[in-house]
């Protein structure tokens, strides 16, 4: 099992994801009607959506934001984790009726649907298989794969529910980075996430505790420059208490990484200037 000098607390999970968008009305309608999130509040040009009263996605309106260009790093996809196969089937039906499915995969640990939102942001909706059945190698790393998913069989489980269940969360965030080694130093070496799987030199998956991944990253599209316009504004990792939060902040300071206070904790930037907010669970 690959370890790090410093390990983030096992209760850590992904909190909110914030996207900078130019057409906030069209984008929010997509996440409500196709993905099935509920609108929770709107103020100051920001729309907050979520499930079960829990905020999951913040859309920050910026009509002047430039489209993301091919060299820019940032978001590969935001992955919404639903609690059951039936809920996943309901999402499939909504996508087929109102949008366009771009992919569907069996990852052995999960079953996933893929699509793109109106502003080009990748979206995954998935359900996990029982953890005790996840395949692992001799070092304890999870062994994910990308196999075909039978969407015709999945569709039969739909109850045509219009919203995701209240237990839905952001299960993971997948990033496009410029360097896997540099990202590994930051996310594993500094933040203390554990490496769960590597796909050669081009992809890395990390998590707290034994999850298959909370943060994924790849260099498949050759991104090389920090993002400047629309797309990922920030994503959040939440920890259980202030003591855990302070340990991470001290770790960042020790490594010369600037920390900026936020309402619920602090934020830092990785080597591609992607912003991560570290917060305490509400």
The DSSP-derived string for 241-274 is SHHHHHHHHHHHHHTT---EE-SSEEEEE-TT--
Residue among 81, 196, 88 nearest 135 (CA):
196
**Predicted confidence band at 1 (pLDDT cuts at 50, 70, 90)?**
very low
What are the residue boundaries of the structural domains of the chain, listed by start?
13-280
Query: In Å, what is the CA distance from 65 to each residue of 24, 47, 154, 245?
Result: 12, 17, 38, 32
pLDDT digits (tens, 9 = 90+) for 185-228: 999 999 999 999 999 999 999 999 899 999 999 999 999 999 99
Q: What is the mean pLDDT of residues 34-38?
A: 98
Q: What is the mean pLDDT of residues 24-39?
A: 98
Mean pLDDT, rounded, of the chain = 96
Specify which residues 126 forms β-bridges with: 81, 112
**Predicted confidence band at 2 (pLDDT cuts at 50, 70, 90)?**
very low
Q: What is the mean pLDDT of residues 262-273?
A: 97
Say whether pLDDT at 145 is over 70.
Answer: yes
* Fold assignment, 13-280: 2,3-Dihydroxybiphenyl 1,2-Dioxygenase; domain 1 (3.10.180)
Cβ proximity of 101 and 113 under 8 Å: yes
pLDDT digits (tens, 9 = 90+) for 42-77: 999 999 999 999 999 999 999 999 999 999 999 999
Give 116's Cβ-side CA count (13 Å radius): 8
Cβ proximity of 212 and 142 under 8 Å: yes
CA 26 vs. chain centroid, Å, equals 21
Say whether pLDDT at 282 is over 90.
Answer: no
Say whether pLDDT at 263 is over 70.
Answer: yes
Residue predicted with more confidence, 4 or 115 = 115
**Predicted confidence band at 139 (pLDDT cuts at 50, 70, 90)?**
confident
């Amino acid at each position: 099992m690959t370890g790090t000098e410093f390990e983030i607390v096992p209760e850590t999970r992904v909190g909110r994801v914030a996207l900078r968008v130019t057409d906030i009305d069209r984008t929010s309608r997509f996440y409500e009607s196709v993905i099935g999130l509920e609108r929770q509040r709107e103020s100051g040009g920001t729309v907050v959506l979520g499930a079960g009263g829990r905020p999951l996605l913040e859309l920050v309106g910026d009509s002047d934001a430039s489209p993301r260009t091919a060299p820019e790093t940032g978001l590969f996809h935001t992955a919404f984790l639903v609690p059951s196969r039936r809920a996943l089937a309901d999402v499939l039906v909504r996508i087929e009726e109102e949008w366009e499915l771009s992919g569907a995969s069996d990852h052995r640990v999960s079953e996933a649907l893929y699509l793109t939102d109106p502003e080009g942001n990748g979206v995954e909706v998935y359900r996990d298989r029982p953890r005790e059945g996840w395949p692992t190698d001799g070092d304890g790393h999870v062994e994910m794969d990308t196999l075909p998913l039978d969407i015709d069989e999945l569709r039969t489980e739909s109850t045509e529910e219009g919203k995701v269940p209240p237990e839905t969360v952001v299960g993971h965030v997948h990033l496009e980075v410029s360097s896997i080694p540099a990202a590994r130093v930051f996310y594993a070496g500094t933040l203390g996430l554990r490496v769960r799987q590597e796909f050669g030199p081009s992809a890395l998956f990390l998590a707290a505790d034994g999850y298959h991944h909370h943060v994924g990253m790849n260099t498949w599209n050759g991104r090389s420059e920090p993002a400047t316009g629309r797309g990922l504004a920030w994503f959040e990792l939440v920890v259980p208490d202030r003591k855990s939060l302070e340990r991470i902040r001290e770790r960042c300071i020790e490594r010369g990484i600037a920390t900026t206070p936020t309402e619920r904790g602090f934020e830092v930037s990785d080597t591609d200037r992607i912003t991560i907010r570290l917060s305490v669970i509400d």
